[in-house]
Amino acid sequence: GPEFAPPQEEYGPFLERLSESVVEQIDTDLTFIRYDLPWESPYAAEMREQHWVDFPESRIREMRMNFGTERWNLRKAPVDVTVANSFVIDLDGDEAHLLGRMKAKTRYNIRLAERKGVRVEVAPKEELPLFYRMYVQTTERNGFAMSDYRYFSALFDADRSLPGDPEVVLLLARHQGDPLAGAILVLSEQGALFLHGASANHRRELMAPYALHWQAMRYALSRDCRTYDMGAISPGDDPDHSFHGMYRFKTGFGGRIVHNTGSWDYPVRQDLYQAFRNWEMVLSRHEQGFAGD
């Protein structure tokens, strides 16, 4: 957060005032404050209309964010905690309408998976280990950071007894009982989010991920969700971007790219913050290089 979004020209001054208030209230040593902002990027319009393939470099973004502040102390974080660019599908029609907005190749692969016998069903939490095995294969195949099984288990164990609490759903795509792909969805009144996905290394010619996302869209539609967020994507059609494969896959489903502001830091102890920042940048470059192998 924060979830409240001020006018774009007030992003920086608002975060500066908030940060200084936080610093005053915390007695212990504080190195920096990190904000994972769900706000629309100030560059979103240009990226859509002028087909930019990425955000401006960090120093340019920092100049814009700090305009109007007193301390010019806001820094673009080396990594975004949650994705800054996501692909969102508006669920504003029936199934035929949604299929009609997809690219022909995507519709073909969805129907191919169905003809070949791929079936997607809501699975109980007891089958989470099946998902996690495919998740491990996916992270190793793509060079992504891996989360512990306990994290996924906690998603399903959390108390959701209050009205309005989100629904967490496990979907598994199978072929003759063999799990080929899986997804963890989070559904709320605002929309459905593809939180985590996984696919097996074998039988990839059956196009199970296409069937999985189509069933996820249908499930979200049945729950009266207004949008289906497919998650991370490259900012534009850049073949050199590590997420370009996601771009080619997801854009076939007929949605739109949402560009958010991403993660921003407010350093308090400059020396310690710079040391942490350097370490984070090295780690990020290592993971990006591995993902591009």
pLDDT of residue 214: 98
Q: How confident is the model at residue 128 (pLDDT cuts 50, 70, 90)?
A: very high
- Rounded CA gap, 30 and 38, in Å? 24
116 Cβ neighbours under 8 A, 6+ residues apart = 175, 206, 207
Give residue-wise pLDDT tens across range 60-93: 999 999 999 999 999 999 989 888 999 999 999 9
Domain membership of residue 211 (yes or no) is yes
Token readout for 146 is 């891996």
pLDDT of residue 263: 96
Domain membership of residue 252 (yes or no) is no
**Same structural domain, 73 and 108:** no
**DSSP run (H or E) holding 171:** strand 167-175
Percentage of the chain beyond pLDDT 90 is 80
Which of 52-63 are b and which e, b meaning 16 or more Cβ less than 10 Å from the residue's Cβ? beebeeeeebbe
**Same structural domain, 46 and 133:** no
**Same structural domain, 131 and 17:** no
CA distances from 182 to 11, 173, 210, 252 (A): 38, 6, 11, 19
**Same structural domain, 155 and 204:** yes
CATH of the domain at 203: 3.40.630.30
Domain membership of residue 239 (yes or no) is no
Residue numbers of the domain that contains 162: 93-225
Domain membership of residue 2 (yes or no) is no
pLDDT of residue 192: 97
User: What value does the CA radius of gyration of the chain take, rounded to a whole number of Å?
Assistant: 21
Query: Which of 167, 201, 225 delimits the end of a domain?
Result: 225
**Same structural domain, 206 and 101:** yes
pLDDT of residue 148: 95
Mean pLDDT along residues 234-258:
93
Comparison of pLDDT for 243 and 218, the residue scoring more: 218
Token readout for 164 is 């309005």
Q: Are 179 and 172 in contact (CB under 8 A)?
A: yes
Comparison of pLDDT for 53 and 275, the residue scoring more: 275
**Same structural domain, 135 and 220:** yes
Token readout for 58 is 């960090």
Domain membership of residue 175 (yes or no) is yes
**Same structural domain, 64 and 137:** no
**Nearest C-alpha neighbor of 135 from the set 118, 151, 158:** 151
Number of domains into which the chain is organized: 2
Domain membership of residue 254 (yes or no) is no
Check whether 285 has a pLDDT greater than 60: yes
Q: How confident is the model at residue 290 (pLDDT cuts 50, 70, 90)?
A: very low
- Rounded CA gap, 120 and 185, in Å? 13
Domain membership of residue 1 (yes or no) is no
**Nearest C-alpha neighbor of 261 from the set 17, 1, 38:** 38
Which segments of the chain does DSSP mark as H helices, in order? 11-25, 44-49, 58-66, 95-101, 104-115, 128-142, 149-157, 208-222, 244-250, 270-291
Mean pLDDT along residues 267-272:
96
Q: What is the mean pLDDT of the chain?
A: 92
Percentage of the chain beyond pLDDT 70 is 96
pLDDT of residue 46: 92
Query: Which of 180, 198, 225 delimits the end of a domain?
Result: 225
User: What backbone phi and psi angles, to 5 degrees, belong to 88?
Assistant: -120, 135
**Same structural domain, 274 and 191:** no
- Rounded CA gap, 43 and 259, in Å? 8
Give residue-wise pLDDT tens across range 165-222: 899 999 999 999 999 999 999 999 889 999 999 999 999 999 999 999 999 999 999 9
Mean pLDDT along residues 99-123:
98
> Mean pLDDT lowest for which of 27-31, 175-179, 246-250, 269-273?
27-31
Query: Which of 178, 207, 225 delimits the end of a domain?
Result: 225
**Same structural domain, 197 and 266:** no
Domain membership of residue 234 (yes or no) is no
**Same structural domain, 122 and 207:** yes
- Rounded CA gap, 210 and 108, in Å? 10
**Nearest C-alpha neighbor of 215 from the set 118, 100, 125:** 118
**Same structural domain, 167 and 282:** no
**Same structural domain, 75 and 161:** no
Sort 213 into a burial class: Cβ within 10 Å, 0-12 / 13-18 / 19+.
Answer: buried
